[in-house]
Structure 1
């Protein structure tokens, strides 16, 4: 059972565009009545997450860690094998320190709206490649988790409508990347339900 959870990630975990109390880790803490520590950093990559894993996760002595990143790696066209290796290394560090890892698969990188090039870099490989790589990364991450019997929480299709298009009402400014308060509530609910279904928290 989860007693203390560290959420390690990027802007989607940090809660870019919303207040800390409205970000999904804070909402999850209130909903499940467990201690949840938000260690999301906007713009971070899986390499950055690996680099701070000891200080941000192990030194916190949690019972569990939710590792969810990769959106920025995809944006910069980082090889998927590098991303998988980084996640694998983080999981192995967690297990070595008796911390139960949970692999998070976010909604980032699958169907983002095209951003204003004057305010943000466009994906290095273009939007089409970004979406294709995002799907491939998610599939490979799920396969790696299945092979190693790791827990998974997937948000991949959370904001998609029936016809497979993105519901931009859940996003900050409609950018298709950063959830607004409504989106963070949906994420918190989805993660809570997934953890309860996996019997990791009491209902």
Structure 2
């Protein structure tokens, strides 16, 4: 089985070595080929623009879609991310792919991430992120899709799981990998 992981820096594994990234660890343990197509700083608009070339043209068996935080950070809203996720889920299903929507880890305040030059109110964004992740779980348009919930069974209050409050440390990636492994074992 071949799965493409499409997303932003949380998919890419910002500032973590390749062998420590969640998808690499999960691939080694499950035997499922997981191709990382995460792009740091990307929004769901960017993901939607990349999906044909990086996912559909690659002819995988499935796709994990994880994005939306940058939409919230930069656009101060999650509604566009929600619509883009529905569009990508529908397109992926129409292309015969098994679709998994990933619910990303929460951000851990205070955030110490300083790159990008954009003023982001991380405290306000954290509230919008919670609303967005709840929508990912509950929206009827996504109810037919199995959610890969990276919040389930992981204690994200442990600051050692983060590099900067947004991006996961190697220990955080191991936790995410364990979640992927159990997710695919449960079928």
Matched pairs, number:
186
| Aligned pairs (5 A) from 1:4-43 | 4-43=2-41
Tell me the residue number matched to 1:170.
Answer: 161
**Distance 1:27-1:118 versus aligned 2 partners, 3 A rule:** closer
Q: CA contact under 8 A between 2:77 and 2:128: conserved in structure 1?
A: no
Gaps of 5+ in 2: none
Structure 1: gaps (5+ residues): 161-165
1:41 Cα shift?
0.6
**TM-score, normalised with respect to structure 1:** 0.84
Aligned match of 1:163: none
Q: Matches of 1:61 and 1:118 in 2, distance apart?
A: 35
Question: Are 1:60 and 2:78 matched, yes or no?
Answer: no
Cα 1:29/1:129, change in 2 over 3 Å = same
**What is the root-mean-square deviation in Å for CA atoms of aligned residues?**
1.9
The residue correspondences of 1:77-88 to structure 2 (distance < 5 A) are 77-88=75-86
* 1:111 matched residue in structure 2: 108
Residue 121 of structure 1 corresponds to: 118
Q: Distance in 1 between matches of 2:184 and 2:34?
A: 13
Other-structure match for 2:126: 131
TM-score normalised by structure 2 residue count:
0.91
Q: Does the CA contact (< 8 Å) of 2:61 and 2:97 recur in 1? A: yes
CA shift at 1:78, angstroms? 4.2
Match of 1:71 in 2: 69
User: Are the equivalent residues in 2 in contact too, given 1:9–1:39 (CA < 8 A)?
Assistant: yes
Distance 1:57 1:190, change over 3 A: same
Instruction: Judge conservation of contact 1:103–1:151 (CA < 8 Å) in 2.
Output: yes
Q: Is residue 102–residue 152 contact of structure 1 (8 Å, CA) maintained in 2? A: yes
